[in-house]
């Protein structure tokens, strides 16, 4: 499936905001991920905020950072968000791509997103095994964010989700709103239990996970073509 790299993660957040009337935005990223916050800030979100960790230097875009941590510990940042009583219609996650950081960031993003809102997760379609290395390296590193994303959505089978085949893959998790949505998603969940059990059997074997990902990524990620998504949402 061809990757449409000229459509980026900011475009996807913009499409979701227009289609579903999503007006507030939080970005969770590091000093070496993200890089599209300036585009998000120009989309008119209010508030439009970001949480940056592993922040060894100021962001190159020169825009303010609302919640910041010098290392991978974001507990104080999360407490600050909660103390401010903030929830968001879109939470965009471009984490440090280890499994631990990715899983935590996705989990916390889902907690902070409003019912009816969306979590968007970057780097869910690593192009090759090298890019999917679980350990950091300089260069085209997607890490194992894809696995953390699949673990989360299959571990919560009542959720609706899909992955856009653009900009290294952007996973979208839609947070249910109301009892009708919960019933609808529960009925859908019954159809994914076998897939969930097969995926869980892999455990923490990242090589085996990538092998399964390569052969079954369309089902695992529910991949959609960006051009089709744009026609559907606009």
pLDDT-based confidence at residue 3 (cuts at 50, 70, 90): very low
User: DSSP labels for 53-85?
Assistant: ES-SS--TT----SEE-SSS--HHHHHHHHHTT
Q: Is 54 left (phi over 0), alpha (psi -120 to 50) or beta?
A: left
Q: Looking at residue 1, what is its pLDDT?
A: 34
What CA–CA distances, in Å, run from 116 to 61, 88, 187? 30, 10, 18
Print burial letters for 220-234: b (CB count within 10 Å at least 16), e (below 16). bbebbebeebbeeee
Cα–Cα distances in angstroms (integers) from residue 23 to residues 20, 62, 91, 179, in the given order: 9, 23, 11, 23
Nearest-CA neighbor of 127 among 156, 91, 165? 165
Task: Give the per-residue pLDDT at 183.
Answer: 46
Tell me what the mean pLDDT of segment 177-187 comes to.
54
pLDDT of residue 191: 61
Give SS3 for 148.
Answer: helix
User: Taking the mean position of all CA atoms in its chain, how far away is CA 93?
Assistant: 5
Looking at domain 9-233, its CATH class is: alpha beta
> Considering the entire predicted model, what is its pTM?
0.90
pLDDT digit string, tens, across residues 77-124: 999 998 778 899 999 999 999 999 999 999 999 999 999 999 999 999
pLDDT at residue 83, as a whole number: 75
Q: What is the distance of C-alpha 135 from the center of its chain?
A: 19
Rounded-to-integer distance, Cα 38 and Cα 156, Å: 32
Q: What is the mean pLDDT of the chain?
A: 88
Q: What is the pLDDT of residue 181?
A: 52
Query: Per-residue pLDDT tens for 147-170?
Result: 999 999 999 988 899 999 998 999
């Amino acid at each position: 499936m061809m990757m449409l790299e000229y459509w980026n993660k900011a475009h996807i957040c913009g499409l979701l905001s227009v289609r579903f009337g999503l007006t507030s935005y939080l970005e969770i990223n590091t000093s070496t991920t993200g890089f599209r916050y300036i585009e998000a800030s120009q989309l008119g979100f209010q508030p439009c905020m970001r949480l940056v960790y592993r922040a060894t230097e100021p962001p190159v875009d020169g825009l303010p950072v609302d919640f910041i941590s010098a290392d991978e510990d974001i507990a104080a940042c999360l407490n600050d968000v909660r103390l401010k009583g903030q929830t968001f219609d879109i939470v965009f996650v471009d984490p440090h791509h280890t499994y631990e950081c990715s899983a935590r960031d996705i989990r916390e993003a889902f907690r902070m997103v409003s019912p009816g809102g969306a979590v968007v997760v970057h780097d869910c379609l690593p192009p090759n095994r090298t890019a999917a290395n679980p350990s950091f390296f300089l260069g085209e590193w997607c890490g194992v964010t894809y696995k953390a994303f699949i673990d989360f959505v299959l571990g919560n089978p009542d959720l609706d989700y899909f992955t856009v085949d653009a900009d290294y893959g952007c996973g979208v998790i839609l947070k249910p709103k109301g009892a009708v949505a919960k019933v609808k998603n529960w009925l859908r969940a019954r159809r994914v239990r076998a897939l969930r059990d097969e995926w869980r059997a892999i455990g923490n074997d990242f090589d085996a996970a990538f092998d399964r990902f390569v052969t079954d990524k369309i089902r695992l990620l529910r991949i959609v073509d960006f051009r089709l998504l744009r026609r559907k949402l606009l």
